C-alpha cells in the first residue's frame, strides 16, 4: 500500500485526547492541506478557523453538555457521559470550517483533507457535527464571535484534532457498498 492509502486505512474517529497542544508546524501543515481541497469551480466557499483557545473550547463543551442534558431524549447526553463526559473529548484544537449557504459538499471535502492530514502526522481527529449545539445556546452569538466567525458565514463543520490518549479502531469495511458496473 502507498502512504496515502495507508493513511486512509488507519484513520478512525478519535474520542479521547490527552489535551496537550499540537505543534504549530503540524497545525500549519494541516491548514495547508485544508486549502488544497478541491471545490466546485474553485470557488473555495469556505474559511477555516483554527481554534486553539482551550478556555473557549471548554466553555463551549460545558454549554453543549448542559444543553443536551435538558433534551427530552437523554440517549445522546448519556452517550457522551459514557464517553467521558465531554462533548469535545478534551481536544486542544478545533478546526472550524465556515461556509457560504448551501456549500455543504465543498465543506465536507475540506473536512476529509484535514482528517487525512492530521492522521498522516500521527494525530487523532474526529469530525464533530455536535460543535453546532453550543452555537444554538443563548451564548451562541458570543461563541461565534470568539470563534472568529463573521457576518454571513454559516457553521459548516468542525473537526477536533489532538494527541490520542486512547487508540481506537477503524470501522469494519463493507465491500457490499460497492457496485461493479462492467
Ligand X SMILES: Cc1cc2nc3c(=O)[nH]c(=O)nc-3n(C[C@H](O)[C@H](O)[C@H](O)COP(=O)(O)O)c2cc1C
Binding residues among 91-110 for ligand X as defined by CB under 6 A: none
**Residue whose entry in the numeric block shows the C-alpha cell 494525530:** 123
Q: Is 129 in the site for ligand X (CB under 6 A)?
A: yes
Q: Is 15 in the site for ligand X (CB under 6 A)?
A: yes
Q: Which three cell numbers stand for residue 8?
A: 486512509
Residue 7 found at the interface with ligand X (CB under 6 A): no
Binding segment toward ligand X, per CB under 6 A, in 8-16, 39-47, 67-75, 134-142: 8-16
Q: Which of 33, 65, 107, 127 binds ligand X (CB under 6 A)?
A: 127
Residue 24 C-beta: closest distance to ligand X, Å: 26
Q: Give the nearest distance from C-beta 19 to ligand X in angstroms.
A: 17
List the interface residues with ligand X, window 145-164 (CB under 6 A): 157
Q: How many residues bind ligand X (CB under 6 A)?
A: 11
Interface with ligand X, residue 171, by CB under 6 A: yes
Q: How far apart are CA 56 and CA 158, in angstroms?
A: 14
Buried b (16+ CB within 10 A) or exposed e, 123-147: bbbbbbebbebbbeeeebeebbeeb
Q: Is 126 in the site for ligand X (CB under 6 A)?
A: yes
Nearer to ligand X, 114 or 127 (CB): 127
Does residue 12 interact with ligand X by CB under 6 A? yes
Q: What is the rounded distance in angstroms from the CA atom of residue 49 to the CA atom of residue 146? A: 11
Q: Which is nearer to ligand X, 13 or 44 (CB)?
A: 13
Bridge partners (DSSP) of residue 171 are none
Q: Which stretch binds ligand X (CB under 6 A): 37-45, 57-65, 125-133, 172-180?
A: 125-133
Residue ranges that bind ligand X, judged by CB under 6 A: 12-13, 15, 126-130, 157, 170-171
Amino acid at each position: 500500500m502507498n502512504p496515502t492509502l495507508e493513511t486512509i486505512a488507519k484513520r478512525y474517529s478519535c474520542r479521547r485526547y490527552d489535551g496537550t497542544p499540537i505543534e504549530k508546524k503540524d497545525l500549519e501543515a494541516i491548514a495547508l492541506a485544508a486549502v488544497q481541497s478541491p471545490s466546485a469551480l474553485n470557488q473555495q466557499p469556505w474559511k477555516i478557523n483554527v481554534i486553539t483557545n482551550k478556555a473557549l473550547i471548554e466553555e463551549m463543551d460545558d454549554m453543549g453538555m448542559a444543553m443536551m442534558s435538558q433534551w427530552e431524549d437523554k440517549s445522546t447526553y448519556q452517550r457522551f457521559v459514557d464517553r467521558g463526559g465531554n462533548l469535545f473529548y478534551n481536544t486542544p484544537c478545533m478546526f472550524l470550517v465556515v461556509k457560504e449557504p448551501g456549500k455543504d459538499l465543498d465543506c465536507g471535502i475540506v473536512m476529509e483533507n484535514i482528517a487525512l492530514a492530521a492522521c498522516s502526522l500521527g494525530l487523532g481527529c474526529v469530525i464533530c457535527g455536535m460543535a453546532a449545539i453550543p452555537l444554538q445556546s443563548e451564548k451562541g452569538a458570543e461563541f461565534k464571535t470568539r470563534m472568529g466567525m463573521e457576518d454571513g458565514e454559516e457553521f459548516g463543520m468542525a473537526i477536533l484534532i489532538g494527541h490520542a490518549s486512547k487508540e481506537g479502531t477503524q470501522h469494519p469495511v463493507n465491500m457490499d457498498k460497492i457496485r461493479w458496473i462492467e
